Amino acid sequence: MKSTWHTLRFWHLDRTTCEVDTETIPVSFARDWSSLRQSVAQWGVLTPVIVRRAGDKWQLVSGKGRWLASAAPCIPALEVSCSEREALEIYLNDNLARGFNTVECARLLHRLHHQFAVPLAELRSDYAPLLGMTEGMRPLSDHMAILELPPAILTSLASGQMTLRNALILLDFTGEEAATLTALSQHFRWSAATEREAFTLIWEIMHRDQMTLAMLLASPPFHELCAGSSERTENKHAKQAGELFWQSLKRCKNPSSARAEALFNETVAASHCPSFVTISAPPFFEKDLWRVDFQFRDAATFDKAVAYLCELAQQGNVEKLLQTVENRRK
């Protein structure tokens, strides 16, 4: 796009007499202005805001943070003559050093594409590199898609509490369900990887059993684990509940693995496994193997461990443990 904008003047804009629209051009979202407020309180506004005439009022083009941070009746300003598309371009380039969060990138791309009809190919070649986005059309469509999510989730995205990849999963849920899942994740202190897997498992269970999220969370054991999610809980206890919730999801999604796990544990218990020997299967039988660990301080303990394992084989319990893998597949 050939630019035709130009600067008209520098002066001090009187905020008490001028009507200024601060929302139309800037796409800032859930930004922390606290450090800027401290700077402006100490030094004043050192860099002029940029404004343009829009009918009988002024329109803020760039400098929203400085505008909000300043309490002075007059603020240094640059008046520019430009179209609304050019105003958005000025805003974009004026804030490149500051950078844009995920939601701000999405809002910029959405406005350029839907309001100003910028083709996706041009967004990919000219704008995505400026915003630090990876190559390809998919990142463009993914960013614009998240704007359909509720404000609470967009706030989590903008602050970095949630990844773009995880937010995209929430598009398969209703807005209310997506907000509920976001609140649960924050309460349980899930990592990004656990959050992603939990969201996916929940969707798969709901789809398989033709149930809503409310129905799933009202069923045991999820109801008990979610009972304190609306209350302030210590970090340690919340993380423990979150781990139990995630494990319960895995069992609910793969009931055959849960049955195999129970049979495995029963077989080990029936063999009178000594305390210094541990026989375990991988969580939810995700791998076809099981593991034996034992600790010893002397030769006698070592001999006892070996004797127990030999007895385990002689009694046919090794075959029973291996059979649990077959049971899982049935």
pLDDT digits (tens, 9 = 90+) for 98-144: 999 999 999 999 999 999 999 999 999 999 999 999 888 999 999 99
Q: Do 216 and 293 reside in the same domain of the chain?
A: no
Report CA Rg, the chain: 29
Find where tokens 């009931």 sit: 255
> Where is pLDDT greater, at 253 or 71?
71
What does the DSSP 8-state code read for residue 148? Answer: G
d(CA 138, CA 280): 42
112 assigned to some structural domain: yes
Q: What b/e sequence results for 180-212 when a residue is b if at least 16 CB atoms lie within 10 Å of its CB, and e otherwise?
A: bbbbbbbbbbbeeebbbbbbebbbeebeeeeee
157 assigned to some structural domain: no
Read off the tokens for 72: 């002075």
Q: How many domains does the chain have?
A: 4
Q: Do 40 and 51 reside in the same domain of the chain?
A: yes
Give residue 206's identity as a one-letter amino acid code.
Answer: M
Q: Do 17 and 107 reside in the same domain of the chain?
A: no
> Where is pLDDT greater, at 27 or 287?
27
Q: Do 270 and 221 reside in the same domain of the chain?
A: no
141 assigned to some structural domain: yes
> Where is pLDDT greater, at 174 or 320?
174
For the four alpha carbons of 84, 86, 88 and 90, in that order, the dihedral sign comes to: negative
Q: Which of 218, 253, 288 is the last residue of a domain?
A: 253
pLDDT digits 0-9 by tens, 241-273:
888 898 889 888 877 766 677 777 787 888 888
Per the CB < 8 A criterion, the answer to whether 191 and 210 are in contact is no
Q: Which residue, among 127, 11, 116, has the nearest Cα to 58 in the 3D structure?
A: 11
Average pLDDT score over residue span 42-60: 94
58 assigned to some structural domain: yes
281 half-sphere exposure, CB direction, 13 A CA radius: 26
Q: Which of 90, 122, 148 is the last residue of a domain?
A: 148
Residues of the domain holding 122: 100-148
Q: Which of 217, 234, 253 is the last residue of a domain?
A: 253
Give the pLDDT of residue 63. 96
CATH number for 64: 3.90.1530
Helix ranges (H only) for 146-234 are 151-159, 164-169, 175-188, 192-209, 213-218, 222-226
What does the DSSP 8-state code read for residue 133? Answer: P
42 assigned to some structural domain: yes
156 assigned to some structural domain: no
154 assigned to some structural domain: no
Q: Do 197 and 127 reside in the same domain of the chain?
A: no
Q: Do 176 and 241 reside in the same domain of the chain?
A: yes
Helix (H, G, I), strand (E, B) or coil at 33: coil
Q: What is the mean pLDDT of the chain?
A: 88
pLDDT at 279 over 60: yes
**Least confident range of 54-58, 65-69, 275-279:** 275-279
Q: Do 189 and 216 reside in the same domain of the chain?
A: yes
Q: Do 81 and 11 reside in the same domain of the chain?
A: yes
Read off the tokens for 256: 């055959």
Give the pLDDT of residue 287. 63
Q: Do 11 and 43 reside in the same domain of the chain?
A: yes
Give the pLDDT of residue 329. 55
Q: Do 80 and 37 reside in the same domain of the chain?
A: yes
The reply to whether omega before 221 is within 30° of 0 (cis) is yes
d(CA 98, CA 33): 12
Residue 86: pLDDT band with limits 50, 70, 90: very high
Q: Do 71 and 105 reside in the same domain of the chain?
A: no
Q: Do 6 and 87 reside in the same domain of the chain?
A: yes
Beta bridge partners of 279: 292
71 assigned to some structural domain: yes
Give residue 233's identity as a one-letter amino acid code.
Answer: T
Give the pLDDT of residue 311. 86
